Amino acid sequence: MKVFIVLFCLAAFPAALFSQSSGDVSGGQGRLLFPPLIAHHVEPRVGMSRLVEEERLRLDIGNSIDLLHFEGVREGDRGAVGADFFTWTSLRQEAAFHFPVDAVDYLFGVNASYRHDLDETSSVSARLRLSHISAHLVDGSYDKTTAAWRDADPPQVYSREFVDLVLAYDYSGMLRVYAGAQYIYHIDPAELGKYAMQAGVEAVWRDAPFDGVHLYCAYDLRILDNGAMRSAHGLQIGAKIGTWRGSGVNLFLAYYHGPSQHGEFYDRMWSYWGPGLNFDF
């Protein structure tokens, strides 16, 4: 909790500045044509969360950017092509404010997104990603006193290259529902499945009593073949201080139940909840 107290204090001043311009001039879109999925763990973020049941921290570092923008042949059509580079890291919590790094996953790739305005209040959008993920154990997983890997679990090769497509419907920048699928055309270990499905919903109360504060909730469900058909549930409830799809700070509580989010631990089930914060730029 000391980590979050310090970071919350550091975030308080810029969050106050963000709230001075609470009007979302993007109309709910933000700097990316297809905003990241809030409750899905394979998305670009800058922030951290506390895994209470696992006694761990998750650290996110990275970003996505739209490099090229296109106007469609029909009014209300827009497109973009961009790049993704980000990581998510597992840190074990120990006494005396120590956080050894157990594992880290890297993603890099390219994406293409599309958005069509149906009318003044609703739109449909899509995002296609071509990405590579690799996972690695770090020195925090190695016990120097016994000269062995923790839990007798040495590093293993884990990587995957995949294509995923997500389709979404947005109403007035207040409600987004989406569904998608993923095809993994190369994966190591080779016995893991190559298909996954996904669906979710995000809702925000943009007319909260406090200027520049947006209360939100998001749920993400994935069905994947991880040696067996399994489901992964992600839930996030929080407040965005700033513009909803723009700059600001997210303060939230998250819940996750499903296969580990880290490739080195793909055969383990994780179930946890905890607080977190993300910085949106």
pLDDT at residue 279 is higher than 90? yes
The rounded mean pLDDT for the chain is 87
Q: Across 34-48, 61-75, 96-110, which has the greatest mean pLDDT?
A: 34-48
Categorize the per-residue pLDDT at 26 as very low, low, confident or very high, splitting at 50, 70 and 90: very low
17: three-class secondary structure by DSSP: helix
Lowest-confidence segment of 28-32, 90-94, 132-136, 198-202 by average pLDDT: 28-32
CA dist., res. 110 & res. 234, Å (int): 24
Task: Write down the pLDDT at residue 152.
Answer: 65
**Whether the predicted model's global pTM rises above the 0.75 cut:** yes
Q: Distance (Å, rounded) from C-alpha 132 to C-alpha 187?
A: 10
* Domains of the chain, earliest start first: 2-280 (2.40.160.40)
The mean pLDDT value for 14-34 works out to 53
Instruction: Report how far residue 107's alpha carbon sits from residue 182's, in angstroms, rounded to the nearest whole number.
Output: 15
Q: E-assigned strands of the chain?
A: 47-51, 56-71, 77-92, 101-117, 122-137, 142-143, 148-149, 158-171, 175-188, 195-205, 213-225, 229-242, 248-259, 269-280
Single out the residue of 84, 83, 38, 63 nearest to residue 236, CA to CA.
Answer: 38
Q: 249 and 257 in contact (C-beta within 8 Å)?
A: no
Please state which of the ranges 118-122, 152-156, 216-220, 257-261 shows the lowest mean pLDDT.
152-156
